[in-house]
Structure 1
Amino acid sequence: MIYTTITVTEEAGVGLIRLNRPTLMNALNAQMRAEITQAVRDLGTRARVLVMTGEGRAFCSGQDLGAGASINEIDLGRILREEYEPMLRAIHECPVPVIAAVNGVAAGAGANLALAADVVIATQSAVFLQAFARIGLIPDAGGTYWLPRLVGFARAMGQSLFAGPVTADEAAATGLIWASVPDDQFAAEWQARAAQLAQGPTLAYGAIKRALRASMTADLDSQLDTEARLQGEMGATRDFREGVMAFLEKRPAKFEGR
């Protein structure tokens, strides 16, 4: 695919997807959703970590309300099922860690695009905004799934009903995201985290993702079964053997992602 709304690079095991509609605050249109979906699927088979960030002053302002059909003709249900769902599933099911490096405002579907990632690192000046109620809608793009699981029912309800901004510091303090980083340290932080994951035990990271996601709906017995099955698989990897040898030899491990 030739990308026109995002830029895609890959270096040292890090696949970088940069939303690239800065004059529209990286608002999501159909083309961008398709390109993100394809890029995640492609990079997930080659890179050892994926990073999504935005070009310019915003991460993503959400749905491009000026794109496509008129307000009287727009079919939001179809758009969610046919365009958003494949994108979100591609991120959710990506076999390698996905970092959202939120460089500015993340609003509406843009906020929930970030929350679909495994780890969210935000610059301190960023804000997260569930803006849907402002235009008579409910949180979508996975918002009603992620929010209560990340911050609890009461905060999820308040963010959805009042539709007010949540600062990066508040988001980190309440568990909505992993970290809020001073603006002048933001790029260095997410790049260092991406490099760390790109050099780590890639198969184990994928298994961690599967295990933790399974736990969201599992009872204890089924989760213990999941742990035993996945740990058995990880125990047969070259990275496990390398990790043990490195520990015994008191040296840094050199993981291959195998």
Structure 2
Amino acid sequence: MNDTVLVEIADHVATVTLNRPKALNSLDGDMVEGLVGAMLRLERDDAVRCVVLKGAGDHFMAGGDIKMFAGMTKLDAEARRSAFRDAFFPKLHPGLLAMRRMPKPIVASVRGACAGFGVSLAMACDLTLAAESAYFTLAYVRIGACPDGSSTFFLPRLVGLKRAMEIALLGDQFDARTAAGWGVINRAVADADLDAETAALAGRLAAGPRHALANAKALLYASADNPLEKQLEMEAAAFGDCAATPDWLEGVAAFCEKRPASFG
């Protein structure tokens, strides 16, 4: 891992910070390496029960590094095609897949610019909070590119096909309240409250029943591709797995005794 992505773990919460503030945390090759490495490591770390993803400084992420793109303009057409298709994206995708598989919730905490791959990354998180002053744009069309980074997977599922077309084809900017209304994010909060709201949400998730949360996440993501019969089978198996854990015993006992549960 390199210093373009920082990881700090406290109280079972891992905070992953995109750390190129002078470049608005734009994505370059080093950040790809750091982000993928962090997600693969955290996926396997049983001590971590929730992950928070944020940007250093005043912005979440302004998308891909335009300087990196500009340096590729001298390549011929086939070399440019291969640089992305055969090199850049194969390095990036394992991190996104790890986020999807990760048996723990991931919370994006967004302030400032959230553009291009920044939007993709925020949508790939399980929950997203944003400061009211944050702004969003998928932006790819502005540089003659199409969306990437899982955005074409998540966006229509979150906002519907027609709205997704509008966001992707026009590349217009929209604010955090609009993002919440459309379903791109969960909530817009006052700028001064973002860190505290994020910490409270992460703390609540980290204190929750880990097997139940992991199963709920897996079931919800699987539902988009499953017929009802398959989904019911998965629910039955997952509920059975939860019932076999100490957390289930504690949850039932706490409910019956009218006290807060203390999950292990």
TM-score bin (small chain): over 0.9
Question: 2:62: which partner in 1?
Answer: 61
2:27 corresponds to which letter in structure 1? L
Kindly state the Cα deviation for residue 6 of structure 1 after the two structures are TM-superposed.
1.6
2:104 maps to which of 96, 99, 102: 96
Any idea what the Cα deviations from partners look like across 1:36-67, whole Å, max 9, x if unmatched?
A: 11112222323000000001111011111212
Kindly state the Cα deviation for residue 83 of structure 1 after the two structures are TM-superposed.
2.0
Kindly state the Cα deviation for residue 80 of structure 1 after the two structures are TM-superposed.
4.9
Question: 2:3: which partner in 1?
Answer: 4
Cα distance in 1 for residues equivalent to 2:210 and 2:39? 16
Matched, 1:184 2:192: yes
1:87 maps to which of 70, 92, 95: 95
Question: 1:224: which partner in 2?
Answer: 232
Equivalent residue runs for 1:6-21 within 5 Å: 6-21=5-20
RMSD: 1.3
2:26 corresponds to which letter in structure 1? A
Give the number of equivalent residue pairs. 255
2:236 corresponds to which letter in structure 1? A
Matched, 1:195 2:197: no
Kindly state the Cα deviation for residue 79 of structure 1 after the two structures are TM-superposed.
4.2
Cα distance in 2 for residues equivalent to 1:170 and 1:196? 26
Matched, 1:246 2:245: no
> Contact 1:121 / 1:190 at 8 angstroms: preserved in 2?
yes
Kindly state the Cα deviation for residue 94 of structure 1 after the two structures are TM-superposed.
1.1
Kindly state the Cα deviation for residue 143 of structure 1 after the two structures are TM-superposed.
1.2
> Contact 2:19 / 2:55 at 8 angstroms: preserved in 1?
yes
Secondary structure at the counterpart of residue 92 of structure 1? helix
Equivalent residue runs for 1:34-49 within 5 Å: 34-44=33-43, 45=45, 46-49=47-50
Kindly state the Cα deviation for residue 110 of structure 1 after the two structures are TM-superposed.
1.2
Cα distance in 1 for residues equivalent to 2:89 and 2:64? 14
Cα distance in 2 for residues equivalent to 1:72 and 1:234? 56
Secondary structure at the counterpart of residue 60 of structure 1? coil
Does 128-137 or 82-91 show the bigger shift? 82-91
Counting aligned pairs with the same residue, the percent is: 38
Question: 2:245: which partner in 1?
Answer: 237
Bigger proportion of residues as helix? 2
Question: 1:23: which partner in 2?
Answer: 22
> Contact 1:123 / 1:168 at 8 angstroms: preserved in 2?
yes
Matched, 1:33 2:32: yes
Secondary structure at the counterpart of residue 9 of structure 2? strand
> Contact 2:13 / 2:49 at 8 angstroms: preserved in 1?
yes
C-alpha spacing 1:79/1:103, structure 2 compared with 1 (3 Å): farther
**Structure 2 length as normaliser, TM-score?**
0.93
Equivalent residue runs for 1:148-159 within 5 Å: 148-159=156-167
> Contact 2:40 / 2:95 at 8 angstroms: preserved in 1?
no
**Structure 1 length as normaliser, TM-score?**
0.95
Cα distance in 1 for residues equivalent to 2:63 and 2:86? 17
2:61 corresponds to which letter in structure 1? C
Matched, 1:204 2:212: yes
Cα distance in 2 for residues equivalent to 1:79 and 1:107? 22
Kindly state the Cα deviation for residue 219 of structure 1 after the two structures are TM-superposed.
1.1
> Contact 1:26 / 1:55 at 8 angstroms: preserved in 2?
yes
> Contact 1:80 / 1:141 at 8 angstroms: preserved in 2?
no
